[in-house]
């Protein structure tokens, strides 16, 4: 089975503007930003999408969200930000590897889509 794009970024096979990394997650700037600050935070474990996460993934999912808040703070998003997880084609998923978008640097409107 071939590696996902995000596995290849985590393995440093593809360059990315890394902001944060540890043994469980990596965070880097999106190459097609949808806001002034658009950062992806990705678990190193290749979970295809949130709907396919297993109970055994609860620790990595919790870590992902806690680190998303830390990365947002590192990026200076002190006035607020939005976290987005897309699931499936109708949800806007383009890479089959669970990831969280951190969007900020401007006021977000509602509804989003």
Domains of the chain, first to last: 5-104 (3.30.428.10)
Compute the radius of gyration of the chain from its Cα atoms.
14
Q: Is 63 a catalytic residue?
A: no
> What is the three-class DSSP state of 65?
helix
Catalytic residue among 38, 97, 99, 101: 99
Tokens describing residue 22: 């540890």
What residue spans of the chain are helical by DSSP H?
A: 5-10, 58-74
Residue 13 φ then ψ, to 5°: -85, -25
d(CA 17, CA 15): 7
Query: Residue 90 has which token pair?
Result: 């109708």
Structure confidence at residue 55 (pLDDT): 97
pLDDT in single tens digits along all 113 residues of the chain: 689 999 999 999 999 999 999 999 999 999 999 999 999 999 999 999 999 999 999 999 999 999 999 999 999 999 999 999 999 999 999 999 999 999 999 999 998 76
* Rounded CA separation 104/16 (Å): 19
Neighbours of 47 (CB within 10 A): 19
């870590």: which residue's tokens? 63
pLDDT of residue 1: 66
């Amino acid at each position: 089975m071939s590696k996902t794009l995000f596995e290849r970024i985590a393995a440093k096979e593809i360059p990315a503007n890394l902001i944060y990394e540890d043994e469980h997650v990596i965070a880097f700037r999106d190459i097609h930003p949808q806001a002034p600050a658009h950062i992806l935070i990705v678990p190193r474990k290749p979970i295809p999408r949130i709907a396919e996460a297993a109970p055994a993934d609860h620790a990595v999912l919790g870590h992902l969200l806690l680190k998303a808040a830390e990365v947002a703070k590192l990026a200076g998003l002190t006035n607020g930000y939005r976290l987005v997880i897309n699931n499936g084609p109708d949800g806007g998923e383009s890479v089959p590897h669970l990831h969280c978008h951190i969007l900020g640097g401007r006021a977000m409107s509602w509804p989003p889509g």
